[in-house]
Amino acid sequence: MKRVIVIGGGFAGAYCARHLEKDFSVTLIDNKDYFEFTPGVLRTIVDPAHIRKIQVVHSHYLHRAEIVIGEVTEVSKKDVTVHGKKHPFDYLIICSGSSYSAPFKEKNIISSTRAIELRAVHRQVEKAQNILIIGGGLVGVELAGELCTYYPDKHITIAHAMEELIERNPKRARDYARAFLSSHGVHMVFNEMVSKAKGNKFITNKGTKIAADLAFMCTGIVPNFSFLEKHLKNVLNKRNQIMVNEHLQVNGYENIFSAGDVNDRAVEKTAQNAERQARVAVDNIFALEYNKPLETYIDKKTPLVISLGKHTGIFVWNNFVLTGFIPGIMKTVIEKEKMFRYRF
């Protein structure tokens, strides 16, 4: 059997390992021992028991694949190094995703430690009176939604460098998010970047002082690429994303693919797009094996659900926007459906 190595057990990597393990000798390498439904992490900040609903250990949903828990430190065109040991491959799929500030994404951790850490964050939230969210993109807005609906008495501020919240979305969605948060007492500071912190004071580049006993950084993703620097630096673009062709093959390598947040496809970096790309990478490995034409990955806008607490949300698909209760519960339904597929 040909050997396939999958780096990363997030949305893209978990999909690839599951769909290849029957036909190939698959090794999934991840620096955590579990798959986590990242969109559900924001709820755990206000409800730490929610963690049980959004995690599943890799060994539960993978039945044949070998699972290696550890950090990939080097990748060459022939093998992958973990804990100093080289793992040779016939095919490699790089799904190392992206990093986000703690506690939203964590590396080198096991599921039980993750639960303890999230409970500690929850205790800090319970104690804090003034909470600052730095960044008003999708994550910042959803976090504000969770916090202001669970804790109506806390003072929550979003500081955003842009003119509007979730600025890449249609106007109706932007206006709804702003009006919802405003009506729940969230204070918003626009066109300013937090540049300094002195004790409990955060100071923006325009000199505004924001008092906060707890701050969350929601300022965007950084690709996980460092293991490529030694042998395959030439596949990285200026933003350290992996350059791939239309079949999701890493530039210059027929047998190396990349899917998800870590590659340079110009799409919104979402779980849904990570899985769409993973499906194409999997199909193309089969296509190479059976001498069939390769599938082309087409970038397209996929539907997005933005939750504002447990019962309200925004559904966006191109210019169509639906707001209120139905999109609010959509996220919970998506989470349950996804976790059901991984558990059973």
Ligand X SMILES: Cc1cc2nc3c(=O)[nH]c(=O)nc-3n(C[C@H](O)[C@H](O)[C@H](O)COP(=O)(O)OP(=O)(O)OC[C@H]3O[C@@H](n4cnc5c(N)ncnc54)[C@H](O)[C@@H]3O)c2cc1C
Q: Of 17, 26, 29, 158, which one interacts with ligand X (CB under 6 A)?
A: 29
Which range touches ligand X (CB under 6 A), out of 37-45, 123-131, 155-163, 229-237?
37-45
Count helices and strands (H / E) in the chain: 9, 22
Which range touches ligand X (CB under 6 A), out of 3-11, 191-199, 280-288, 318-326?
3-11
What is the three-class DSSP state of 90? coil
- 9 lines the binding site for ligand X (CB under 6 A): yes
AA identity, residue 118: L
Q: Of 48, 260, 309, 328, which one interacts with ligand X (CB under 6 A)?
A: 260
CA distance 212 to 215: 7
AA identity, residue 94: I
Query: 321 pairs with which residues across the strands?
Result: 316
CA distance 35 to 218: 22
- 270 lines the binding site for ligand X (CB under 6 A): yes
Task: For the segment 298-317, give every residue that binds ligand X (CB under 6 A).
Answer: none
Q: In what order do the strands lie in the sheet with 194-198?
A: 194-198, 201-204, 209-211
CA distance 271 to 91: 23
- 107 lines the binding site for ligand X (CB under 6 A): yes
Q: Of 18, 19, 32, 178, which one interacts with ligand X (CB under 6 A)?
A: 32
Closest to 282 (Cα-Cα) out of 252, 258, 250, 253: 258
Task: For the segment 128-187, give every residue that binds ligand X (CB under 6 A).
Answer: 139
Cβ burial of 43 (10 Å; 0-12, 13-18, 19+) is: buried
Q: What are phi and psi of 178, to 5 degrees?
A: -65, -45
- 10 lines the binding site for ligand X (CB under 6 A): yes
The 187-216 site mask, x for binding ligand X (CB under 6 A), equals ------------------------------
Total site size for ligand X, rule CB under 6 A: 35
Task: For the segment 226-245, give every residue that binds ligand X (CB under 6 A).
Answer: 227
CB of 42 to ligand X, least distance (A): 5
- 104 lines the binding site for ligand X (CB under 6 A): yes
Q: Of 269, 276, 281, 328, which one interacts with ligand X (CB under 6 A)?
A: 269
- 33 lines the binding site for ligand X (CB under 6 A): no
- 274 lines the binding site for ligand X (CB under 6 A): yes
Taken in order 329, 331, 336, 337, is the CA torsion positive or negative?
positive
The 39-68 site mask, x for binding ligand X (CB under 6 A), equals x-xx--------------------------
Q: Is 146 left (phi over 0), alpha (psi -120 to 50) or beta?
A: alpha
CA distance 170 to 172: 6
Cβ burial of 212 (10 Å; 0-12, 13-18, 19+) is: buried
Which range touches ligand X (CB under 6 A), out of 48-56, 89-97, 193-201, 241-249?
89-97
Q: Of 27, 44, 81, 98, which one interacts with ligand X (CB under 6 A)?
A: 98
CA distance 254 to 274: 20
Which range touches ligand X (CB under 6 A), out of 9-17, 245-253, 287-295, 313-321?
9-17
- 8 lines the binding site for ligand X (CB under 6 A): yes
Query: 94 pairs with which residues across the strands?
Result: 7, 258
Q: Closer to ligand X by CB, 158 or 204: give it.
A: 158
Q: Closer to ligand X by CB, 128 or 271: give it.
A: 271
| CB-based burial, 50-78: b 16+ in 10 Å, e otherwise | bbebbbbbbeebbeebebbbeebebbeee
Binding site for ligand X (CB under 6 A): 7-13, 29-32, 38-39, 41-42, 71-72, 95-98, 100, 104-105, 107, 139, 224, 227, 260-261, 269-272, 274
